């Protein structure tokens, strides 16, 4: 083994040793596909294509490292403003990803779920998602949650509409509305809040992601662009999380 190889093997070993506490739920803002592509003289869509490879890598890494829930911000409500060509390309990538990955989801007993205004997605995408969600709904080997046509404010708004309907129907009183009721009306109420929120590409923003659920999530921002965020980078994020002292507003 060369000295350089030995050093990187040692680093990998110490990184793995540092992950002595694994988050149950990791949420990721996958940012930087466009810049990654631009830096290489490629089209934005090629950046998204490479980003899809990273999605596969991180899904596998979650299984390997014991992360039970992975939520990926794949398409926001604001992303509908992007050029039609880019939107269509992203939707095609999504369909391709689903058809390619479904066997791996079965193999690992991973359940696919979606958070967002799924009815706004093109019919073909809805069909492909519904098919895989149905086929994997009984699995308990972890959950892959795709945030699609998702916005944190949209989710809170949708929850308020649901609650207002219950008040109108007389099944709920205004005095009965508390945080538990609001949480119960979010898109996926049974999913625990993220322990760790990762953002790639260095931007210090939440970008309307999981506004309700991330109140006490630990944050990890890396300059690495999403297409380059492979297992080693993911492990760095988990090692950072393992070193955090979560107090949830308490003093211990
Ligand atoms: C942000 O990068 C990324 C997106 C808006 C889309 C993310 C999509 C993928 C990773 C691929 C498809 C997803 C799945 C689940 C198969 P950006 O385009 O804003 O990058 P930039 O800020 O550098 O321009």
In whole angstroms, give the CA distance from residue 56 to residue 236: 18
Closest alpha carbon to 146 in 200, 81, 93, 224? 93
pLDDT at 1 exceeding the cut of 70: no
Lowest model confidence (mean pLDDT) among 9-13, 57-61, 127-131, 196-200: 9-13
The percent of residues above 90 in pLDDT, for the chain, comes to 89
Q: Residue 69: phi, psi to the nearest 5?
A: -125, 130
Kindly state the DSSP code that residue 195 receives in the 8-state scheme: S
pTM, whole model, 2 decimals? Answer: 0.95
Q: Whole-number mean pLDDT of the chain?
A: 96
Residue 198, pLDDT > 90, answer yes
pLDDT of residue 12: 74
**Which one of 27, 28, 31, 223 would you pick to mutate in the ligand 1 pocket, going by the greatest count of ligand atoms within 8 A of its CB?**
31
Q: How confident is the model at residue 45 (pLDDT cuts 50, 70, 90)?
A: very high
**Is position 79 annotated as part of the catalytic site?**
yes
Query: In ligand 1, which atom is closest to the CA atom of 146?
Result: 15
Does residue 94 line the site of ligand 1, with CB under 6 A?
A: yes
In this prediction, residue 129 has a pLDDT band, given cuts at 50, 70 and 90, of very high
Question: What's the CA-to-centroid distance between 150 and ligand 1, angstroms?
Answer: 13
Q: What is the mean pLDDT of residues 48-68?
A: 97
Is-catalytic flag, 20? no
**Could you tell me if 74 and 148 are in contact, meaning their C-beta atoms sit under 8 angstroms apart?**
yes
C-beta 149 within 6 A of ligand 1: no
Which of the four pLDDT bands, split at 50, 70 and 90, describes residue 231? very high
Between the alpha carbon of residue 100 and those of residues 104, 125, 224, the distances in Å are 8, 14, 26
Q: Is the pLDDT of residue 10 over 70?
A: yes
- Provide the b/e sequence for 133-157 (b: ≥16 CB within 10 Å): beebeeeeebbbbbbbbbbbebbee
């Amino acid at each position: 083994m060369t000295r350089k190889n030995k050093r990187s093997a040692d680093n990998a070993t110490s990184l793995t040793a540092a992950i002595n506490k694994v988050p149950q739920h990791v949420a990721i803002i996958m940012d930087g596909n466009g810049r990654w592509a631009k830096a290489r003289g490629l089209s934005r869509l090629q950046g998204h294509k490479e980003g899809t490879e990273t999605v596969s890598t991180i899904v596998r890494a979650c299984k390997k490292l014991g992360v039970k829930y992975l939520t990926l911000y794949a398409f926001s409500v604001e992303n509908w403003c992007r050029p039609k060509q880019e939107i269509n390309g992203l939707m095609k990538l999504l369909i391709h990803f689903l058809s390619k990955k479904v066997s791996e989801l079965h193999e690992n007993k991973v359940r696919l779920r979606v958070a967002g205004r799924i009815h706004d997605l093109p019919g073909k995408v809805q069909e492909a998602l519904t098919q895989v969600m149905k086929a994997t709904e009984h699995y308990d080997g972890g959950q892959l949650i795709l945030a699609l046509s998702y916005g944190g404010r949209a989710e809170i708004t949708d929850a308020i509409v649901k609650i207002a309907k219950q008040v109108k129907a007389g099944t709920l009183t205004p005095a009965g509305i508390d945080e538990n009721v609001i949480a119960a009306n979010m898109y996926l109420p049974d999913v625990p809040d993220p322990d760790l929120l990762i953002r790639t590409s260095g931007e210090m923003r939440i970008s309307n992601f999981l506004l309700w659920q991330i109140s006490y999530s630990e944050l990890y921002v890396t300059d690495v662009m999403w297409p380059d965020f492979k297992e080693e980078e993911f492990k760095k994020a988990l090692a950072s999380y393992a070193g955090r002292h979560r107090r949830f507003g308490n003093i211990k």
